[in-house]
Chains A and B, each alone.
Chain A
Amino acid sequence: MDFANTPSFFRSGPKPGTRLLLCALASIALLVGDSRYGLMEQARDGMSLVLYPLQRAVNLPLGMVRHVSDYFTVQADLKSENDQLRTRQLEMSARLARLETLERELNELRSLNAIKASRNDAAQLAETLYTGRDPFSYKIIIDKGADAHLQPGQPVVDGRGLLGQITRVQPLTAEVSLIIDKNQMVPVMIARTGERAILYGYGGGVEIRYLPLHADVRENDMVVTSGIDGLYQEGTPVARVSKVERNAGAAFSRITTEPLAGVQQTRFVLVLQQKGQTPPRPAEPVVPVKKTKGKKPADSE
C-alpha cells in the first residue's frame, strides 16, 4: 500500500501515446533542423546562457580543491619547478632573440618584394570548462565566447601543439572541435621533407591519408601545419608519425600518427587568430590546380 501504487482514476491531459507522438515529431524536427540546416543556433545560445551559471557552480568546488592543493605545494617542488622554468626561459629568450632578427629580416625581404606580412600573433588564453559528454564527438568547451570576440574557425593550441578549432561560439562559452574529431581535417606537411598532406581525424585519433607509397615518411617525423588554407598559421606542430605501413596492394601508405597536444588533458588553451584574410582568388586556373595539390599530394609528385 505505498503511495506510488495509488491507482490513477483520472488522468489529465492527452494520453501518453499522443504525447509521445508530439514529442517524437518535435525531437525529429529538432534533429533534422540541427544536423542538416543548423537552425537551432539561436535557441542553443539562449539555453547555454541559462546553463552557464550552473556550469560555473559545478566547477566551483573543483576549482577550490585545486586552489587549496596549489596552496599546499611543497616548497621543494616549487623550487625545482622554478629552476626548470628559469632554464627554459633562458633557452627561449636566446631563441627568441634569434627569431626576432630573423623576423625583421623576413619582413624587410617581404617589403622589398611587396608581399604583405600576414602574421597576426594576438592570442587569447582560455580555460577548459568541461569536455563534452557526447561520446560521438570530441569537443571541449572553453570559458570565452562571443564576449571575447571569438569567431568560429579560429585555431586553438596548447603548449605542445595544435588542439583543434573553434566550431561554435556562444555568448559566454565556445566549443572547440579537437583534431581527433571525425570530420576534422588539418592541412599539414611533414616537417622534415615539406611534403604536404591532409591530417584526418577519425574519432579518437588522427591519421594521414592519401600519401602515395613512395612518399618519404618515416617514424617519428613531425607533422606541422602547412598554412595553405588561410586558417592555421604555418609551422604549428600537430602530430608525430608513429607507424608507417606500406602495403603493396594498396594505393596509399597507411600512416598512423599521434597528436602532440594534450588533446584530452589540457586545462589552459590558447586561441590564436586566423591567419588573416586570404586575397581574393585570381581569375587564372592556377589556383584550383594548387588546391588539388594540397589535398592530393599524389598529383604533385
Chain B
Amino acid sequence: MSFDRPKELLKPVKRRFIFMTLLLAVLVEMIPLPHGSTRWLPDFISLVLLYWLINQPRRVNVGVAFLMGLVADIATAGMLGQHALAYSATAYLALSRQRQLVMFNLGQQALAVLGLMLCNQSIMVVARMLSGSAFVGWSYFLPPLIGALLWPLLTKLLLLPYRHHSV
C-alpha cells in the first residue's frame, strides 16, 4: 500500500454515501463486543467523521460533527453532550487546517489524525472528570493510536467506490 495521496480524478461523492458510511460507523459502534475489546477499539464514528471533514469540508462541517456526537452519546449510553462537545471542537481544528491536511500524504495525515483524536479523548476525559467521574487510566488514550494506524486503510476503503476504473 503506497502512502501517497490519490492523484487520480475521482467521481463526485454522493451525499447518500457520506450518510451511509456514518450510519455504518454508528452500527459498528453498537455491536455488542466482549468487554475487554472496548479498551483498544478506536472510535469509528470520529474516524469516519474526520475522513469526511478533511476530504469533503463543504458537505460535512462542525454542525454535522455535533449531530454525530449526539448520536454517539446515545449509542454509548454516556453523558449527553460529551461526544458532541469533543467532536465539534475536533471538527473545528480539522477544518481550520483542512487545506493543509488534504495535501499531506497518508502517513502525515495519520499523524495529524492521531493528534486530533487525542484531543478528542482529552476533551471527553476533562468533561467527565469535571462532572465527577474517576480517571480511567492512560489506556483510555490507546484507541486513538490504533485509529491513526487504521487511517490509511480507511482512506483507501472509502475511496474505492469513487475510482473511475472500479465501475
Q: Which residues of A approach B to under 8 Å, CB–CB?
A: 1-5, 8, 11-13, 16-17, 19-20, 23-24, 26-31, 33-35, 40, 43-44, 47-48, 51, 54-55, 57-59, 62, 128-137, 139, 141, 175, 182, 202-203, 264-265
Contact = CB atoms under 8 A, between A and B. Distances in A.
B69 interface: yes
A131 B127 CA distance: 22
Contacts of B81: 26-31, 33-34
B133 A137 contact: yes
B74 A48 contact: yes
A265 B71 CA distance: 26
Contact of A24 (B61, B77, B85, B140): B85
Contacts of B1: none
Q: Which 6 A-B pairs have the closest CB atoms?
A: A30-B81, A27-B85, A23-B88, A134-B78, A31-B81, A133-B76
Interface in B43-83: 54-58, 61-63, 65-66, 69-71, 74-82
24 contacts: A1-B9, A2-B7, A2-B10, A3-B9, A3-B12, A3-B13, A3-B162, A16-B61, A16-B95, A20-B92, A27-B82, A34-B79, A35-B132, A47-B70, A51-B30, A51-B75, A58-B30, A128-B32, A129-B32, A130-B32, A133-B76, A134-B77, A136-B134, A264-B35
A16 B152 CA distance: 26
Nearest to A43: B80
A20 B89 contact: yes
A70 B6 CA distance: 47
Interface in B13-39: 13, 26-27, 29-32, 35, 38-39
A23 B66 contact: yes
B77 A132 contact: yes
B38 to A, nearest CB: 6
Given A35-B79, A58-B30, A135 B7 contact: no
Contacts of A23: 62-63, 65-66, 84-85, 88
Interface residues of B, number: 59
Contact of B127 (A31, A47, A202, A203): A31
Contacts, number: 153
Contacts of B13: 3
A188 B91 CA distance: 48
A167 to B, nearest CB: 10
A78 to B, nearest CB: 25
A61 to B, nearest CB: 9
A4 B55 contact: yes
Contacts of B12: 3
Contacts of B65: 23
A2 B7 CA distance: 6
A133 B128 CA distance: 14
A136 B92 contact: no
Contacts of A35: 79, 131-132
Nearest to B162: A3
Given A2-B8, A131-B32, A137-B78, A31 B131 contact: yes
A62 B10 contact: no
Interface string B141-167: 000000000000000000000100000
B140 A135 contact: yes
A136 B30 contact: no
Contacts of A133: 29, 38, 75-78
A114 B89 CA distance: 64
Contacts of A29: 81
Most buried by A among B9, B63, B80: B80
B77 A139 contact: yes
A132 B54 CA distance: 29
Given A136-B134, A139-B77, A264-B35, 20 more contacts: A2-B5, A4-B56, A8-B57, A16-B91, A16-B95, A19-B62, A23-B62, A23-B65, A27-B88, A30-B81, A30-B84, A34-B79, A40-B80, A47-B74, A54-B27, A62-B32, A129-B32, A130-B30, A132-B76, A132-B77
A19 B74 CA distance: 22
Contacts of B88: 19-20, 23-24, 27
